[in-house]
Chain A
Amino acid sequence: MLQIKPILSTLMRNKSGPILLLIQIILSVAIVANASFIISERIALMDRDSGTAEEEVFNFRLYSFDSSIELESQLQRDIRTIRDLPGVMDASATSMVPLSGGGWSSGYTVGNTEETAKDTESAAVYYGDEHMLNTLGVDLIEGRNFYEEEVLTGSPDLATHGIVSKAFAKASWGDEPAIGQIMYAGDFGDKPIQIIGVVDKLQGAWVNSSYLDNSVILNINLVNVFTKVLVRAEVGTLAQLKEAIPAALHKDNRNRVIEGFTLISEHRKRVYRNHELMATVLSMMVVLLLLITSLGLAGMVMFNIERRTKQIGTRRALGAKKRDIISFFLVENYIICLVGGVIGGLVAVQLGQQLMSVYSLPKLEPIYPIMTIMGLLLLTTVAVILPARKAAKISPAIATRSV
């Protein structure tokens, strides 16, 4: 049985306690709504798929300091050696590693004539051979892979064929088919680059860039004293390959430094560390705020039970059932919570707007304050019912026993 009217008048006649609680609830809702919005934004960012087999693919760095090494043939021998090691599924030299935070990026020019020419968005640029797609574990959805004979060894400006990510294809050519399109690298070479394939998804190295999903793979085995190698191997074999790869390569030539074995999944952890930290700190804040609010609620209820012992006994004597006593406290605190929740929701939207303009965050979605208020009502139920059950146990005999 709801008794809103007399409970409201009771609240209006004893404002100070409820008002303190109200302020606490307003602040909690405003902060929790925005914090949980930011948390979910961050989690959504962290959840983005790189398109690669992150648990299987690792890279290492290969530094040849012996100037007598013939780099081109050495690299080809090395890659073949690695591919033959047990546990290794594929390997490819590369210019960059997904999610690693470092590498190459460039914009291109597309269009056939001077008038129709336009610049594309930036894209991460992977240089690699026909093994690269398989090594990364990306899905080719259109066109084809490089043929072995198409892959050139040497410098970036030799590139003639390109495989692009779907996102880059869409950004550059819209709904037109990407296969067969030509693009120019500008500073990185004046040869036309023909698009021969599209992969579903391949991210670049910079998770905070606006063009993370734009990637281009060009048909070049880069030759350099400093090379990065991508290896795809069965899950769990990294520890053993960390030993086996340097051993095998050093057998060929000792004068190299081989180091920095890192899974893409480890790169992911590192590049998203700040996001994760932010999400963790904010989650802890949310939990803490909700905890403090429920303690405040429960404390208020306990205080009121103490203060109203005789009243509760009297109400029981006059015919209140146990559930009437519990619902008395529930309704009272639901009222406070709803009023605080609605005001807090409005404050949350205001706060969201401030954050939006000052920290260029996206606009707070209304579902967050709404969910926060719903969560708070749930919390109120628990925080009130636990102590209120004690109130329900107060004997009606209190009515005659206490003066």
Chain B
Amino acid sequence: MLSMKNISKVFKTDLVETHALRDFNLEVKEGEFVAVTGPSGSGKTTFLNIAGLLEGFTHGDYFLDGVNISNLSDNKSATIRNEKIGFIFQGFNLIPDLNLAENVEVPLRYRGFNSAERKRRVQHALEQVGLAARMKHLPSQLSGGQQQRVAIARALAGEPRFLLADEPTGNLDSMMARQVMELLEEINRAGTTIIMVTHDAELARRAQRNIQIVDGQVCDFTMYQHGAVADKPHLVAGDKRAVEPSSVEAEEATS
């Protein structure tokens, strides 16, 4: 699904070169729910941006869903983002001038769907997050948790294979954070691959797989111990594609 080999990313400014990612290696399989943790400034957002085709990288190879991402045109990247990837941001990033339905509709318009199809998908996506009744509201009329659910609806409306979330619960209280997390788990159970950056160790632990980025590299690479997985029976039961420990070990060896 996602394969990064020896990816490096250097930010050059007048004075300094920042190596945000260095020899970064990662494989994510279809249907996985990966939680990414790590200290601030370690390169988590950079990794997510590269994974989501929001920015390019300096060296290395990146394949997403079999497509070589290294030399894509700007238009092609936009199309892949639009069709295959859903984004969820820490700050929700809803467009304040548009009501909820119009916000969810944004990527669908870029997709070129006709108005009936857009309407159907907006309705369905907002129903999934439980906000269909408030379609005509503006984002400012909602709580943070509700706004993030709208953002999730927007990410889901295009039925992406791949959901990227950068600290989706970072601006939410723990109650709302849990609701959002449950929503993401539900989406993952339905088959969507999710990579989520988070600061919240408790939420990270609920993911099927944890990786840690330290200083621009995948440092610690742990599969949840069987005991911990047993704490979350729904995940094991619901997800047939749970990663086998053996394959994780194999990956660990290459990283």
Residues of B within 8 A of A397 (CB): 49, 54-55
Chain A residue nearest to B107 in the complex (CB): A318
Are A318 and B98 interface neighbours, CB within 8 A?
no
Are A314 and B75 interface neighbours, CB within 8 A?
no
Tell me if A251 counts as interface (CB < 8 A to partner B).
no
Residues of A within 8 A of B105 (CB): 6
Are B54 and A395 interface neighbours, CB within 8 A?
yes
Q: How many residues of B contact A (CB 8 A)?
A: 36
Write out, one digit per residue, whether chain B residues 96-115 have a CB within 8 A of any chain A CB (1) or not (0).
11110010011101111000
Asked, given contacts A310-B93, A319-B78, whether A9 binds B99 with beta carbons under 8 Å apart, the answer is yes
Tell me if B33 counts as interface (CB < 8 A to partner A).
no
Tell me if B81 counts as interface (CB < 8 A to partner A).
yes
Asked, given contacts A1-B109, A318-B82, A320-B110, whether A400 binds B54 with beta carbons under 8 Å apart, the answer is yes
Chain B residue nearest to A14 in the complex (CB): B97
- Count A-B contacts at CB 8 Å: 88
Tell me if B95 counts as interface (CB < 8 A to partner A).
yes
Which of B55, B98, B111, B154 is in CB contact (< 8 Å) with A396? B55
Tell me if A324 counts as interface (CB < 8 A to partner B).
yes
In chain B, positions 53-89 with a C-beta closer than 8 Å to chain A are: 53-55, 74-75, 78-79, 81-83, 87, 89
Which of B48, B75, B90, B110 is in CB contact (< 8 Å) with A318? B110
Tell me if A403 counts as interface (CB < 8 A to partner B).
yes
Tell me if B91 counts as interface (CB < 8 A to partner A).
yes
Interface range on chain A: under 10, 10 to 19, 20 to 34, or 35 or more? Answer: 20 to 34
Can you list 17 residue pairs at the A/B interface with Cβ under 8 Å? Answer: A10-B98, A13-B97, A310-B93, A315-B95, A317-B81, A318-B81, A319-B107, A319-B111, A321-B78, A321-B110, A324-B110, A397-B54, A397-B55, A399-B54, A400-B90, A400-B166, A401-B45
Binding site for B on A (CB under 8 A): 1, 3, 6, 9-10, 13-14, 310-311, 314-322, 324, 395-397, 399-403
Binding site for A on B (CB under 8 A): 45, 48-49, 52-55, 74-75, 78-79, 81-83, 87, 89-91, 93, 95-99, 102, 105-107, 109-112, 138, 154, 158, 166
